[in-house]
Amino acid sequence: MNEVALRALAYVLVGALALGTGWQVRGWKEGSDDAIRLEAKQAGEDLVRQAVASVADQTAKAVAGIKVTNTTIYQKTRHEIIKEPMDPGCRLPAGWMRNINNARSGADRPEPAAAVPGSGGGAGG
């Protein structure tokens, strides 16, 4: 073989080696970029998981602190009447105060009045 053919063959071989090396380096860089993107994505997902867990913990604590009480209007009214009797500084006669306090507590409920005897036609007879 002559020198020109050997030189051409060497150039082709060097070119092929350079092309193969470049191709391999490009593959490594793509893999590295993918790994960096994956790590960033996982870090973002971890941050979201931590935020959701924090909100869930706070919600669970708030729900645990709720105290449910069932009070009817009658029970509440009755409680307030017993709790707060008539003001002693009120200037009413003692008999009136007794009547008012009995009425508020429900202790002195009068019986319904009886029907008036006589005709039901009215006053004119």
Tokens representing residue 80 in the block: 């307030």
Q: Is residue 115 part of a domain?
A: no
Q: Is residue 118 part of a domain?
A: no
Q: Is residue 110 part of a domain?
A: no
Q: Which residues of the chain carry a pLDDT beneath 50?
A: 125
- At 59-74, the pLDDT tens digits run 998 888 888 776 666 6
- Domain with 96, as residue range(s), is 73-105
- How much is the pLDDT for 55? 92
Looking at the fold, whether 6 and 61 belong to one and the same domain comes out as yes
What is the Cα–Cα distance from 17 to 97, expressed in whole angstroms? 114
Looking at the fold, whether 36 and 95 belong to one and the same domain comes out as no
Are 101 and 87 spatial neighbours (Cβ–Cβ below 8 Å)? Answer: no
- How much is the pLDDT for 125? 45
- How much is the pLDDT for 57? 92
Structural domain total, the chain: 2
